[in-house]
A and B are shown apart, each in its own frame.
Chain A
Amino acid sequence: MNPRRLTLILVPYLWLLALFLVPFLIVLKISLSDTAIAIPPYIPKLDLSTGWHGITAFFADLDFENFVFLAEDDLYWKSYLSSLRIASISTLLTLLVGYPIAYGIAQAPEEWRPTLLMLVILPFWTSFLIRVYSWIGIISNEGLLNQALISSGLIAEPIQIMNTTQAVYLGIVYTYLPFMILPIYSALDKMDVSLTEAAIDLGCSRRQAFWLVILPLSRPGVIAGCFLVFIPALGEFVIPSLLGGSDTLMIGKVLWEEFFSNRDWPVASAVAVILLGILVLPIMLFQRNQERQQETDR
């Protein structure tokens, strides 16, 4: 191998090894350590400085204590389940909101489409934090929505939206909407106009043509969009902590609190390891969907 090629490979490779893989191995190692009140606040189980002996001692002593703790404390159970539920429901809601928009863009005259697409992407370039924040002024108890509803006489007392799970759904749908619209749009855009026309020609109504032809054919886009929302939503931290209040349990928030408030590094690390374990399945399914998609495109 010539030296130029070697450098080209080694520089990014070593960077990622040092700053992605090694840190993750450290998380794994600490998740297997014992909690201690010290700095750093854990007692390492794996001591590589003692060489082979250290490794054998580590395996002999391996007890998954933190994982057992996580399994026994129902706070963690509940927050994993609640994360999964919140991510699933918000993915479904995002799909329901996003599909009609994507379909509308695909049906729009060709010269409008770039502008419409730009309008979908534009929010993505603005700060995530600000987009979440923008809802606080609307849905809080004294917020614009409640003010409007009260002054119109529909309700007497403000409805509690802020600091509920519903607010988290809203936040996720709002911020992840572009991730849902774009893949669905690109699946719809690839479709031949004559498909609808053929279906109508063969006796379908426009609505039937949509359900029987367009919707099934846009499935890969729908699947991709759902994963693109579900995967990041599962580990979400900002939305539940700003909009969800103390009652909303999400695993990203629990990890943050274990680490910053309780300073329990081993448990925080164990939480991270399990979160990653949960994510493996959807990520693999997503990858498979993308690969299959690429094959059919070819």
Chain B
Amino acid sequence: MAQPQPQNVFAPWADPAEKPLIRFEGVTKRFGDFVAVDDLNLDIYEREFFALLGPSGCGKTTLMRMLAGFENPSEGNIWIGGQNMKGIPPNRRPVNMMFQSYALFPHLTVWDNIAFGLRREGMDKDRMRVRVDEMLRLSRLEKFAGRKPHQISGGQRQRVALARSLAKAPKLLLLDEPLGALDKKLRQDTQFELMDIQEKTGTTFVIVTHDQEEAMTVASRVAVMDHGKLVQVATPAHIYEAPETVYVADFIGDVNIIEGTVIPAQGNRVDITYAEGKPPIRAATDKTLVPGQRVSFAVRPEKILVSREMATERTNAVKGRIEDIAYLGNISTYHVRLDSGHLVSAQMTNRNRLERREFTWEDEVWLSWTETAGIVLTE
């Protein structure tokens, strides 16, 4: 799956000479008996937009709070810019955080909120004024400088929180579910704004989110976490197209998982028998598999074609009956019950208007996909 990368693409993690900005070294965090983060190793590079993705309770927030200094690792070390952070309190770290609740000081104006960190630094008045005004301009808040946090809207508050955490020009900005409190439309606009600001300031961003779409949109790399461990760390495209485990495949986007056993085939291909008396699924893989091994075959709904007649040009074709259709406007998802009993979903773009739809409930249809459409997963 790994395609040759063009030279100018930003990918410091692929360059062995590059020094990481952040290094987690065997970090474990326990709360009583509960292991929130389990022996974790991770490098994050300068100028990266790094997303920690996972369900609540997976340890992503704890990981971030350890970076900020609000929690200390039970074991292991955290390095930022080559310096061990052990024993360094939050107020002396080159890190700023944007809180999920924004944590704007309700008794201070927008201006004073942004200036708060600069004042603590002891910056002189004139430079501070320039810097705060610059941040206000960057976040398009000039008009609201004199307002208190309760006098502005949710989206404006979000921008104040961002401006405040960026004012000190930290090496590293941590964002804890930064868009969680915004509605969907505003969230999408803000995602692009965030990316824009990240690019302009050149700050390293580490974002915690449970929203996979958000992580995919903004991040240069995504780390999927589960039970305190990193399951996969890769670019969004790689995570989507080449998940390493069923967990990742299932967590990111929709996927059909079909379990079966391996029969070796020619070249980099395997046949997977998933039901008695049915032709096996043929899939390309670069994994070395032994005959008889149990595997999961994962294929995204949009990679499956639904047709009235059997599509002979595609390697895999199975017959089934449409059980349900979810109409989403631009696309429709068809839930098709195969003769083997498996329920498979397939997605098709709605090119025609609804009344001229090709398929309807209870129709017999063929589902087909190519050898490279899906992937074979062993865990």
A and B touch in the complex (CB under 8 A): no
